[in-house]
Every structure is written in structure tokens, then in C-alpha cells.
Amino acid sequence: MTLGIYTARRGGDGAQLIPSPASVTLGDPESYVPADGVKEAVNVALALGQPLLLTGEPGCGKTQLASNLAWSLGLTLRKFETKSDSTSESLFYRYDSLRHFESSSRGEPSDPLRHISWNALGAAILATLPAEEQAAYSVDGIEPTPRRSVVLIDEIDKAPRDFPNDVLNELEHLYFRVPEIGNTVIRADNAHRPIVVITSNSERDLPEPFLRRCVFHHITFPDDETVRRIALNHLGAHVRELDALLDEAVSFFAELRADSTGLSRRPGLAEFLNWLVVLGQHDTARQRLTTTSVRATIGVLVKTTSDLRRAEDLLTTWLSRRDG
């Protein structure tokens, strides 16, 4: 199997041969396939008005749930990507003190609101207020009528240890304080309370007071049949005529992910879908996995030298079992 794009030889305008990226993301909310129990957990969180805390290994669909939830309810999704230096303030807004100082030194108007940008949960709380109140806080993209939003706080376990405790009351009662504008308290209208979804890869334990204020759900990795259904939903034309190849790819993917394989890092769903795109483009003639095709594409699934050796050994065993 060869893609035939890079040949290590110069000739013609090779750049024109490079296709649009075939890399696949799981971002299409309409194609999301919820794992067992997810819908029930969402409904419990909605009924109680509490944040939904999702755990599960990377690539199991935690982040995509928030997108699907917003899409299915016709709401705006506002995402906060947690960083190692995130603060409780940054969940709501960012104040650019340097620009404020520079503006003041030039004799320009010193209204602090000119130097505040509203982040995910802050923007969601402001969106619940009447338009005139939003305008008073210099909100970009003012909602003509109060609206509910879905707020995704992604990978909260990446944040500093004190972050979850620092936002306990704010998350529970959906308000925040802005010291830069006279310690003003901005509170959500309960009729349009934002829906909060929090994800964690369990890299760090979360504090008990924080957990008590959440509805918890652990997403297990989907079984083979669900993986197949997810592939059909997301890839459509790439795999619909390749049933045999899809079945073999799902089987080998499951072998790679098995505990007995001993990989230091198991591939996730997004990587599997990317792998399928490449296989679907180049193995349509035989619709079977081969040593050549898998070795040429295995770098989509495994990411270390030791895992590569294990995967190649597993491939030999898997092919022997299939052909025996």
C-alpha cells in the first residue's frame, strides 16, 4: 500500500498532489453515539440543576457529550479548556491589567470594562440576563433575549489543586464577583441556568466538597459493536462499502486495546477513525488487513517504539489466527 504523495524525488509541482487533510475528529455532534447510562446521567443532572462530572479514558467521548447535549437542546456551547495555570477567575473572565495601565497612561478612558473579556461560564451567566444588562457589561454578541447555554469545563484535573475548591460556591449558585468593577456580583437568572458539564481524565483526585456538588458518571470505552456504529456514523461514505475491512479493523483495534497486549498507551476512538480513513482509501480492492497496510499506517494508533514492536508482534499473531 502506498499513498504515492511523497516519493523522495523531485518532479513537477508536488505540492499540488497533497490532498486536503483526511484527519477525522469526533466533533460532529449529530454523529455522537452515547455510551450506556450517559443519557440517564445527563437527565439526573438536569433535574437537580447540578454540574455533570464525567470521567473516562481519553477518547471515550466525554467532550463530545457536551457538544451533543448543546446541539440536541438547541443551545450555545461555551468551552473552557483547563490549563495548568488556570485560576477560578479565568473560568468567568479575563482582565487585561497591562492594557488598562497603558490606556490610562495615555490619558484614554479608564473604564475597566474596556479591558475585560468574558470567558465560558461568565459569558453563559451574562447570557441569562436581559439584553440591557448584557450591554451594561460590554458583552460581545449580546443575546436579544435571555438564553441558557451549555458550559464545558474540559479536563479539570489539569488545573492547579485549589481550582475546584475555589469555584465551589460559584458553580453551585452560578454567580461570580468582579473586583475590577467595584466588586460587582453577577448572578445567573435561575430560569435560564447554564448547564455545566465537567470532564476529567482522573490524573488527579478531586476534592470531596467539589464531588458532593456534582452528578458523577464514568464513561466506559465502547464495545466492538458500538465502535463499529460510531465509525459508520462519523465516516459514512469512507466505510459503508467496506464491511469486511471495517470488521477486521475493529477486531484488530480491540486486540491492540486489550489489557494483555501491554501497550503503554492504548489508542483512542479518534485515532481509530483516522486509521480507518487511510485504510478505506487504499485497501478497497481486497477489503482485508495486510501486513503491509497495517505497518504502513500503524503510527496512527501507536506512539512509542516499544508499543510499535508489541503491535507488530500482535499483528503477526492476529493474521495467523485469521488465516489459519
- Tell me if 194 sits within 8 A of 119, measured CB to CB: no
Residue 23 has pLDDT above 80, yes or no: no
Residue 16 has pLDDT above 60, yes or no: no
Residue 174 has pLDDT above 80, yes or no: yes
List the CATH number of the domain containing 111: 3.40.50.300
Q: What is the CA radius of gyration of the chain?
A: 24
- Tell me if 89 sits within 8 A of 153, measured CB to CB: no
Longest Cα pair distance anywhere in the chain, in angstroms?
82
pLDDT score recorded for residue 5: 66
* Average pLDDT of every residue of the chain: 87
Evaluate whether residue 20 is within a structural domain.
no
For residues 126 and 239, membership in a common domain is answered with no
Evaluate whether residue 83 is within a structural domain.
yes
| Residues in contact with 140: Cβ distance below 8 Å, sequence separation at least 6, in sequence order | 118
Domain enclosing residue 187, as ranges: 34-218
From the centroid of its chain, how far is CA 249?
A: 24
The helix or strand, by DSSP H or E, that contains position 228, with its residue range, turns out to be helix 224-235
Residue 178 has pLDDT above 90, yes or no: yes
pLDDT score recorded for residue 309: 94
What predicted TM-score, i.e. pTM, was given to this entire model?
0.86
Number of folded domains that form the chain? 2
Evaluate whether residue 6 is within a structural domain.
no
Least confident segment among 109-118, 154-163, 176-185: 109-118
Residue 214 has pLDDT above 60, yes or no: yes
Residue 11 has pLDDT above 70, yes or no: no
pLDDT score recorded for residue 61: 85
* Grid coordinates belonging to 183: 466588586
pLDDT score recorded for residue 13: 58
Interior CA angle at 263 toward 277 and 198, to 5°?
70
pLDDT score recorded for residue 19: 61
Question: What letter represents residue 318's amino acid?
Answer: W
Q: Write the burial class of residue 313 (CB in 10 Å: 0-12 exposed, 13-18 middle, 19+ buried).
A: exposed
